Structure formats: structure tokens, C-alpha cells
Amino acid sequence: MGQIHFVTDSTCDLTNEEIKQHGIHIVPLTVQINGETYKDRIDLQPETFIDLMKNADELPKSSQPAPGVFKEIYDELGKDGDQIISIHMTGGLSGTVQSARQASEMSDSDVTVIDSRYIAFALAFQLREAVRLRDAGATVEEIVAAINQLRENSRLFVVLNTLDNMVKGGRIGKGKAAVSSLLNIKPVAHLDTGEVTICAKPRSYKQVIKFLMSEFEKDTAGKTVKSIGISHANAIETLVNPLIEQIKATGYDKEIEIAYTSPVISTHTGEGAIGFMYYAE
């Protein structure tokens, strides 16, 4: 039996150590800003991007990898008969997974493409489980079934601190943004269906934390919380630390992972946003 290889994209929040240790292949999206094009997390790091975005005249644009980029990787990894599982950010926000599917149809390699329906740590949760099962001797079919189950047990909330990027991107009118700003609304959305859906409109950071904790406690009641991750776009003091404090107050004593949001995601959310992700069984 051949090996099973994993391919994903640059929106996952795996650490560099994990990527190297488990031989995971990352295909970066690209970001165009100030007339320059950068490979996400390769030529452009999250912390640097926030400063660039704040000073940019226009909203940065992100692009998914071309099918040919995926095909080249698939051809190489599968040339000796090895199998490939390619897990990517939600198709509701990017054409990346569709690009991967097109490449899988062009390649002679045995490729299974999965839409994670999530991003960031919620994508990393699936990759970690896939690696664990592969190393335990699971088949591709068993890994896919387990990922599908993990996805059903996951939640991801996005909190926006500003609607500026939504206005620049044409996703919301300036009038609505102005009203939200006056009311100090911090929209909260979820990705339960793979697309961003507004589910609450709290008017302060305190109310944001209260809503997130209410959802967290309801979702995890009677279950074992397997993992928690928080991605942020420069929001440590306003949202990340207060949220961690409340989570620990529930008695949760495991690690809560924190990462800076990928430039691709920050392009859409703007500065000050966070993604709150967890799964429980």
C-alpha cells in the first residue's frame, strides 16, 4: 500500500513545525495590494499585512491558486501510486477548492478533494485529525468519514470590528456601515454552512464576549471540548484576551491556540476582527 499525502492552502492555521513534521503541502493564495502581488504567508506575513492594508488606497484583492499549480503537486505526489487528500478553505469564500477539483480531474493521480467549509483553525482541526488517522493506518475512506464527522461537531464565529472592508469590497453600502458605526455594532457571523451568515449584532465588546460564551457553553454542554483556536487581526486586547479569560472561567484548562489571521482572510474582515473556533464530541 502506498502513502497518503495531504495538500491544503495558506488559510489554515497549522504551525510551520506541524507542516514540516507531517509533510503537509501548502498551496498559497495570492494577495494584490498597492500594485504588488504577494504569496500568502510566503512573501507576505500576517502582521506586516495589517499595516499595509491600513495605508492602502484600495481594498486588497485575493486570488485562488490556478488549477495548474495543484496539478503539478498532484502529479508529483502521486507518480508512484500514492494517494492524496486535498483539504481546503470553504468554497463559500473562495474558488480554491474548485480549482483543486479541476486539477484532480486533470491529474492521473488518485486525489480526493474536500471542502472543509471552514478556514483558519477550523481547517487545521480537520487536517490534524486526518494526519492522526493516517499515521494510525486508516484508509482514505476512513479519513474522509472522520473529517465529515468532525466538521459537524465544529463551530466558527467571526467578529468584525469595522465594516470598512465590507464597504470597500462592495459587500455593504456606506449608509449601513455608517449606521453600524454610530451604534457601535460589532457584527458576529458564523460559517456553519460554509458561507458567512450574520447571527448577532452586539453593540460592545462585552456583549460580543457574552454572545460567544453563550454559544460555546450551549454547544459543548455534556461534551468533551477537543480543541479551541482564536485567529485575530490585531485584536489581542479588545477581544482575544477577554474571551480567553471567560473560557478559562468555565474550568477549561487545556491550551487555547492563538494565531494572526491570514492576509487573505484579513482582506475581507478588516483590522480588529477575530475568528473563534472549537469542536467538541
Segment-wise mean pLDDT, segments of 10 residues, the chain, 281 residues: 92 95 97 92 88 84 95 98 97 95 98 97 98 98 98 95 57 40 72 84 94 97 97 96 98 96 89 96 94
Give the model's pLDDT for residue 172.
Answer: 42
Give the model's pLDDT for residue 267.
Answer: 86
Give the model's pLDDT for residue 270.
Answer: 86
Give the model's pLDDT for residue 96.
Answer: 97
Which amino acid would we find at residue 264?
V
Query: Cα–chain-centroid distance for residue 270?
Result: 15
pTM: 0.91
Give the model's pLDDT for residue 164.
Answer: 60
Give the model's pLDDT for residue 185.
Answer: 79
Q: Are 12 and 75 in contact (CB under 8 A)?
A: no
DSSP H/E element including 153: none
Give the model's pLDDT for residue 163.
Answer: 60
Q: Are 129 and 21 in contact (CB under 8 A)?
A: no
Give the model's pLDDT for residue 183.
Answer: 43
Which amino acid would we find at residue 89?
M
**β partners of residue 228:** 278
- Cell output for 24: 503537509
- How many CB atoms are located within 10 Å of the residue 276 CB? 29
